[in-house]
Amino acid sequence: MDPEFLRTLWFILIAVLWTGFFFLEGFDYGVGILLPFVAKDDVDRRVVINTIGPFWDGNEVWLLTAGGATFAAFPHWYATMFSGFYLALAVLLIALIMRGVAFEFRSKDKKPQWRAFWDWAIFGGSLVPALLMGVAFGNLLQGVPINEKMQFTGNFFSLLSPYTLTTGLYTLLLMTLHGAIYLSLKAEGEVAERATKLAQRLWLPMVIVLGLTILLSDFSTDMFSKLGVNPGPIPLTGIATLLATGWFIRNQRPGWAFAMTGVTIATSVMTIFMTLFPRVMVSSTNPAYSLTIQSASSTPYTLSVMTVVAVIFVPIVLGYQVWTYYTFRKRITRQSVQP
């Protein structure tokens, strides 16, 4: 296969993997963030947790696959990004470990103090990744200090700026809104009602943060120069679907509202990768030092083998996840979690 075609193909596939991750893990994190606010007693908290119980670990596979694909297809991108974002990724990893342990350990003891500790671990383990993921992608767009040897020359604090913190807030609010709508679909009774009310309150701040993110993108990135005066249907669709989300929430159409936030998430990720291409990391030191799909990629042979493996196994993984969601499609009620 043509090497340039393979590089572009894997850039697109990594974008698809991140899209799947943010869509699925988005409502997953959102539910975890909302756990202390929509549940009033232990039964309610069990309802909330059980809405994502069969799915959360499967959803995280998308993150592992995106990271693994980046490592195999674009090793220089992986090396520069993971070394530069090392401290932030360590914090992210700790949060994910605590979250996973919390799901498993919470039910091992009935003491309120024990369960309260792990409930807050689920909250923190969901909030931190939702925030840091947005900060990380904001840095990819804004650019980070990279020298001519593809080495990160900054520190943890060089990753924090008004723009990257805004993109972090954007992903945090979007995932929380996505999770609130998911809860209104998956739960019943008071939990679903509280989730709907929270979704109504979250929508306007989400729209405001979207507008602020777009404004700061004009000053902090080359997004507008890359996409042009007419950005095309993908970014505009994301804005339109987020605006439509509010109408569907107010009119008690949670299924459509969930679809709208899902499209907003997908178009947001696609807009990021459209802005980056053919770069994978932008250098704020010198644009000539930016990593591209050409300079960061593996050999054509490696990309060819990966393509064959992906063609075989990706449909299997997708089929398994579809089967899982179909099998556990019923709503969760207080009665269904009683002993």
- Check residue 317 and give its pLDDT: 85
In the predicted structure, residue 272 carries a pLDDT above the cut 60:
yes
pLDDT digits (tens, 9 = 90+) for 82-122: 888 999 999 999 999 999 999 999 988 889 899 999 999 99
Place of tokens 């579809």: 322
* Among the four given CATH numbers 1.10.730.10, 3.30.465.10, 1.20.1630.10, 1.10.10.1100, the one describing domain 3-337: 1.20.1630.10
- Check residue 44 and give its pLDDT: 92
pLDDT digits (tens, 9 = 90+) for 128-184: 999 999 999 999 999 999 999 999 998 888 889 999 999 999 999 999 999 999 999
pTM higher than the cut 0.85: yes
| Percent of residues, the chain, with pLDDT higher than 70 | 99
| Contact partners, residue 146, CB within 8 Å, separation at least 6 | 80, 84, 152, 153, 281, 283, 284, 285, 289, 290, 291
Answer for the pair 166, 308: CB distance below 8 angstroms, yes or no. no
| Percent of residues, the chain, with pLDDT higher than 90 | 77
pLDDT digits (tens, 9 = 90+) for 13-62: 999 999 999 999 999 999 999 999 999 999 999 999 999 988 888 888 89
SS3 281: strand
Three-point CA angle 239, 240, 244, nearest 5°: 120
- Check residue 35 and give its pLDDT: 95
Mean pLDDT score of the chain, rounded to an integer?
92
Which structure tokens are listed for 106?
Answer: 């919470």
- Check residue 14 and give its pLDDT: 96
| Domain regions of the chain by residue span | 3-337
